Amino acid sequence: MTGTTLPTPLYPLYQEKFGFSELTVTVVYAVYAFGVIGVLLLAGNASDTVGRRPTLLWGLGFAAASAVCFLSADALAWLYAGRLLSGLSAGLFTGAATAYVMDLAPPGGQSRATLVATAANMGGLGCGPLLAGLLAEYAPEPLLLPFAVHLALVAVSVLVLLRLPETVRDPAPLTAVRPQRPALPAQVRPVFVPAAIASFAGFALFGVFTSVSPAFLGRFLHVDNHAVSGLIVALAFFASTAGQLAVGRFGVSRSLPLGCAVLFAGLCFLAGALSAELLVLVVLAAVVGGVGQGLSFRAALSAVAAAAPVEQRAAVISTLFVVAYTGISIPVIGVGLLAGPLGLEQAGLVFTGCMLLLVTSAAVYLLRRPVRTEAR
């Protein structure tokens, strides 16, 4: 997961090298989401069919190929290819690695396994921009060294993975994997609507932070230190981990509306940061928005999973993830499209206004029809 956010603080350097616009930055970023969505729809149940280890080895293979693309990047096409392969890797890991951790947990350790998987997922996403920012600022070859380090980490991961036992009994060949159709049974829809809206808005906020915030920090706040810009993006992911962990304390029925409220506050801080050009508001937007995203998304996932029929649970969860990852593609590209005629600040304000409306609509829906399902 670290590899998926590794390019974040490096986008301004790529802009200087290849001379492309903010729109291109957002499209390069969004290609990753298309890769994730494609895997979720076409091979979301791969690890249940062929086994955990083969699926994760494929994921690590895509991650290594992505790093090679960035190491070879002498034209824009390499960035597109690298982001697509990174998305394929993340799509395979999203479900398979979490399921594997839970499979390998000792008796009575399911709750801890879930927390470990959550921390590894969001923590890895946070470590990407932090690692790349530090290496870009304080080490040579800023566009090469981060991906060389990532390639080494992937190699270590392969060695570790090969020592783990397979937990799927009687795995089938790769040809047995079948595409999963999005599913939304009637009894899930009342829960799914606010959950999907909140997930879409939270992932959209992350999408904007990880695609265009380094450019905003450098151009308008004169933050030219790549380590600082990487740290600010990383704070959003680390805060999301804290928000997800807090769901166990508040429960699903309270965490989803509370997450929407905190996410609303984070978006307000982002609007203030864009208007006033204050670094402290950018940091607050990252932290508060991250906590809100973590609260709302884990609560949404728990509520939707609990409401879904057992035989359709995987398909319903995949549908929620498709909506969430759409949030880090379409709105982000929208910001890129508006940045040309309106400028980056005004495009960000339009985005923030739209997301505020979405979060408000989810909160109103929840007040009218609260989610009563508690986390398991």
- CATH of range 2-166+181-368; options 1.20.1250.20, 1.10.10.10, 3.40.50.620, 3.40.50.720: 1.20.1250.20
Chain position carrying tokens 């590899």 = 3
Which amino acid, 97?
Answer: A
Q: What is the mean pLDDT of residues 190-210?
A: 89
Q: What is the pTM of this model?
A: 0.87
**356 burial class (0-12, 13-18, 19+ CB within 10 angstroms)?**
middle
- What's the pLDDT at 373? 45
Quickly state the pLDDT bin for 81 (edges 50, 70, 90): very high
pLDDT tens string 33-47: 999 999 988 877 788
For the chain, give every domain's residue range: 2-166+181-368
Instruction: Please answer whether residues 322 and 40 qualify as being in contact, where contact means their C-beta atoms are separated by less than 8 angstroms.
Output: yes
List Cα–Cα distances, 158 to 55, 59, 63, 102, 256, in angstroms. 12, 10, 11, 19, 37
Instruction: Please answer whether residues 15 and 25 qualify as being in contact, where contact means their C-beta atoms are separated by less than 8 angstroms.
Output: yes
Give the count of alpha carbons within 13 A of 369, CB side only.
Answer: 10
More confident of the two residues 221 and 46: 221
**Statement: residue 175 has pLDDT above 80:** no
